[in-house]
Amino acid sequence: MDLEISRKVILLIDDDRSLHQIQHYVLTQHGFELISAYSGEDGLKLALREKPDIILMDYMMPGLSGEEVLAKINSEPQYQSLKSVPLVMLTAANHNDAHIKGLLRKGLAAYLCKPFGKNELINVLKNVLHKQEEALEEKQLMDQLLQSRDFFYNILSNFPGLLFTTNDLGEITYFTKGSSTFTSLNYSQLKGLSLWEVLNLDEREVADYFHDNQQVNFYKKETVFHDEERGELPIELTITPLKNNNSEVQGLLCIANDLITLRKLELERNEKEKIKGIVQAMATVNHEINNPLTPILGNLSLLISDTPHLSAEAVSKLVSIQESAEAIREKVYKMSTISKPIFKQYYKDEMIIDIENSE
């Protein structure tokens, strides 16, 4: 990974002004920008304002020492934003190694013994920046993993069926019932039990199926789930093998759905499709009957209005025909507006739509 340092800002905190002049030249030549503070107190203020990429700080200074600055960053709330800024300590060559290791445990990113050459300084700064970028990438990856974990946890929590995983021996290693309520069992009751016994399965049958159908990734079957409290619960089971990178089976993933609920949903879906078909048929009947019925009613009205040329008996029969035709049109219209048909017995086991009481 190439390190872009053109915009990296180094805050140097040291009471030796000549060191600032020398390092300003060195760091600028290597693409860094240097800002200077000459005491620990001023360095903390400048760090809060400028937000440098690295703090380079002398261990021994008048006022706050480098160790005291590190302690303030670690403990005082107003400096919490500086905890993510790498801090490199400049120490004397004879400094106690155990003490330096203690500072590293407290969050010091690196240290450099005086006197040091320009190459040593640049190498330390680059290494610290690399580690900082790697730590940031690791944090971002961890955040993504946590988000993914929460996402999949929500999926599993709301999953409407049972989900099992097993090891290569068929022993249950994970179980969740999600949002389903048809069993009262939980993971602690099923952990380590044989999947084959819990789900009334033939292990050899499943193994042979995957052996004979290597291009198929799942096995589906209707079976029963043994619930100690509720007895044998009918389920629809789907099994898929869990494999490692070498395609070796490490266990099984099993999804079980309540078969009674599935059948109920299927019946409801079929009933809805049936009703939809009936409604469409009635709309078709309305259209096909109204087309010829409209001119029939129109001609009847004309005939009835021509009473001087018709006998009373003929007029009476025409009125009767007109009333029957109007009744047909009214029934057909009613049929076309039905969305929730109600059925009634017609003859023996035959059922017809109750037009008057349907909605």
Note whether 287 and 337 are same-domain residues.
Answer: yes
pLDDT band at 149 (very low <50, low <70, confident <90, very high): low
Note whether 13 and 127 are same-domain residues.
Answer: yes
CA gap 57, 42 in Å, rounded: 12
Q: Is residue 358 part of a domain?
A: no
CATH number where 185 lies: 3.30.450.20
Q: Give the residues across from 174 on adjacent strands.
A: 165
DSSP state of 340: S
CA gap 158, 182 in Å, rounded: 14
Note whether 89 and 104 are same-domain residues.
Answer: yes
8 Å CB contact between 181 and 233: no
Q: Is residue 306 part of a domain?
A: yes
pLDDT score at 145: 65
Least confident of 203-212, 326-335, 342-351: 342-351
Q: Is residue 89 part of a domain?
A: yes
pLDDT band at 152 (very low <50, low <70, confident <90, very high): low
Note whether 101 and 177 are same-domain residues.
Answer: no
pLDDT score at 78: 92
Note whether 123 and 254 are same-domain residues.
Answer: no
Note whether 134 and 224 are same-domain residues.
Answer: no
Q: Which domain holds residue 57?
A: 9-151
8 Å CB contact between 7 and 31: no
Note whether 185 and 208 are same-domain residues.
Answer: yes
Q: Is the pLDDT of residue 6 over 60?
A: no
Least confident of 83-87, 225-229, 265-269: 265-269
Note whether 173 and 45 are same-domain residues.
Answer: no
CATH number where 103 lies: 3.40.50.2300
Note whether 49 and 75 are same-domain residues.
Answer: yes
Note whether 15 and 140 are same-domain residues.
Answer: yes
pLDDT band at 2 (very low <50, low <70, confident <90, very high): very low
pLDDT score at 247: 81
pLDDT score at 37: 92
Whether the bond between 241 and the residue before it is cis, its omega within 30 degrees of 0, is no
Among residues 116, 151, 186, the one where a domain terminates is 151
Length of the chain in residues, anyone?
A: 359
Q: Is residue 156 part of a domain?
A: no
Q: Is the pLDDT of residue 24 over 80?
A: yes
CA angle at 267 for the pair 265 and 269, rounded to the nearest 5°: 65
Among residues 132, 151, 170, the one where a domain terminates is 151
Domain count along the chain: 3
**CA 112 → CA 90, 94, 115, distances in Å?**
5, 12, 9
pLDDT digits (tens, 9 = 90+) for 274-328: 777 777 777 777 777 777 877 877 777 777 777 677 777 887 888 888 888 888 8
Q: Is residue 226 part of a domain?
A: yes
Higher pLDDT, 167 or 304: 167
Q: Which residue is associated with the tokens 């290569």? A: 168
Q: Which helix (H) or strand (E) holds 286?
A: helix 259-305
Buried b (16+ CB within 10 A) or exposed e, 234-262: ebbbebebeeeeeeeeebbebbbbbbebe
**Minimal CA–CA distance to 235: which of 209, 198, 206?**
198
Least confident of 118-127, 133-142, 241-250: 133-142
CA angle at 194 for the pair 192 and 195, rounded to the nearest 5°: 110
CA gap 202, 151 in Å, rounded: 34
pLDDT score at 4: 47
pLDDT score at 256: 86
Note whether 168 and 42 are same-domain residues.
Answer: no
Q: Is residue 322 part of a domain?
A: yes
CA gap 50, 35 in Å, rounded: 9
8 Å CB contact between 108 and 89: yes
Report the percent of the chain where pLDDT is more than 70: 94
**Minimal CA–CA distance to 112: which of 7, 6, 19?**
19
Global pTM reads 0.44
Q: Which helix (H) or strand (E) holds 9?
A: strand 9-13
Contacts of 22 (CB under 8 A, 6+ apart): none
Note whether 81 and 195 are same-domain residues.
Answer: no
Q: Is residue 3 part of a domain?
A: no
SS3 348: coil
Among residues 233, 259, 285, the one where a domain terminates is 259
pLDDT digits (tens, 9 = 90+) for 109-132: 888 888 888 888 899 999 988 888
Higher pLDDT, 209 or 34: 34
CA gap 225, 200 in Å, rounded: 7
Q: Is residue 181 part of a domain?
A: yes
Strand 219-227 to 33-37 pairing: unpaired
For the record, the structure tokens of 226 come out as: 């043994």
pLDDT score at 94: 66
What mean pLDDT, rounded, does the chain reach? 82
CA gap 128, 85 in Å, rounded: 10
Least confident of 24-33, 87-96, 183-192, 239-248: 87-96
Q: Is the pLDDT of residue 5 over 60?
A: no
**Minimal CA–CA distance to 125: which of 168, 84, 90?**
90
